[in-house]
Amino acid sequence: MISGKPVGIFGGTFDPIHYGHLRLAEEMLELAELDQLRFIPTGTPPHRDAPEVAALHRSAMVGCAIAGRAEFLLDTREVERPGRSYTVNTLRELRAELGAERSLCLLMGADAFLQLHTWHEWQSLFGLAHIVVGYRPGFRLEERIPTAPPVLQNEYRQRTANVTALAQSAAGGIVELAIPQLEISATDIRQRVAAGRSIRYLLPETVTDYIYQHHLYASC
Ligand code: ATP
């Protein structure tokens, strides 16, 4: 028996958060009919280079960006946790807090999904949450999946589900959603700030103000 609407979980370095992230979150909220979406800035990400600025600043910028949007929540558990942050541990905590009957939806892009088999205890993720994969229109996961390792292909074939599954079960489905993406990247924003170029209209003004007030990315 499922209780309440699904809870979305959106992890990222958010270094800094920008309108690409926020539009993706907004589309996911709407298409997956989520009750709430938790932005979880990563602590020490296992899969990429260390973020440019301190976790404290990255979290604060997420807070600035989502202020006033009641369904968007900032969840700082990964930046507060010492050591490496693994999604599987975050999901275990959330599952313990929200109960076995709540639908949890882990949001990610198609590129991230194609690397899922490299994540810590990746097969345990399916017992804890649904995986919701946002793909650019024109980029079909189905076309890329034949080149993925057979273990990932098997999970994909067995678990592919319709969006309605997110409200009907607590975990275990893989749901694809077509989401237009804005051509904005955090890397580009950092480089622009370092070069003294404008970042206006790429991210919320409150975040831009925060970046300048705290002299972030000036020497990237
Ligand atoms: P960087 O440029 O530093 O690599 P990033 O924005 O790609 O940053 P994250 O902050 O970790 O990296 O992104 C979090 C999630 O948001 C990832 O799943 C990523 O695919 C997605 N994302 C990033 N930029 C966009 C965008 N413009 N449109 C939609 N999704 C995005």
pLDDT tens per residue across span 83-141: 788 999 999 999 999 999 999 999 998 889 999 999 999 999 999 999 999 887 777 78
C-beta of 115 in contact with ligand 1 (< 6 A): no
Confidence of residue 1 (pLDDT cuts 50, 70, 90): low
For ligand 1, atom 28, the nearest C-alpha belongs to 20
Nearby residues of 179 by Cβ (< 8 Å), 6 or more positions away: 23, 24, 27, 28, 31, 134, 135, 136, 137
pLDDT mean over 156-184 = 94
Which stretch of 40-49, 63-72, 97-106, 164-173 has the lowest confidence by average pLDDT? 40-49
pLDDT in the model for residue 169: 96
Query: 191, exposed or middle or buried, with CB in 10 Å at 0-12, 13-18, 19+?
Result: middle
- What is the CA(1)–ligand 1 centre distance, in A? 34
The model's confidence at residue 47, banded by pLDDT at 50, 70 and 90, is low
Our answer on whether the CB atom of 184 is closer than 6 Å to any ligand 1 atom is: yes
Determine the distance separating the centroid of ligand 1 and the alpha carbon of 179, expressed in angstroms. Answer: 13
If you average pLDDT over every residue of the chain, what do you get?
92
pLDDT score at 50: 65
Instruction: Return the structure tokens found at 14.
Output: 């958010």
**From residue 139, how far is each of 16, 64, 174 by CA, in Å?**
26, 32, 16
pLDDT at 156 > cutoff 70:
yes
| CB distance 20 to ligand 1 below 6 Å | yes
Mean per-residue pLDDT for 191-216? 97
- Ligand 1 pocket mutation pick from 9, 17, 19, 21 by most atoms within 8 angstroms of CB: 21
How high is the pLDDT of residue 44? 66
pLDDT for position 220: 56
Task: Examine the pLDDT at 205 and tell me if it is beyond 70.
Answer: yes
Higher pLDDT, 10 or 2: 10
Length of the chain: 220
Residue 173 Cβ < 6 Å to ligand 1: no
Residue 48 has pLDDT above 80, yes or no: no
pLDDT at res. 144: 87
- Is the pLDDT higher at 180 or at 46? 180
Ligand 1 centre distance from Cα of residue 151 (Å)? 26
Query: Which CATH topology does 7-183 take?
Result: Rossmann fold (3.40.50)
Listing from the earlier edge strand, what are the strands of the sheet with 174-178?
72-74, 36-41, 7-12, 104-109, 130-135, 174-178
Please give the share of the chain, as a percent, with pLDDT higher than 70. 94
Q: Which atom of ligand 1 is nearest to the CA of 185?
A: 2
pLDDT > 90? residue 142: no
Domain residue limits, the chain: 7-183
> Per-residue pLDDT averaged across 202-219, rounded?
95
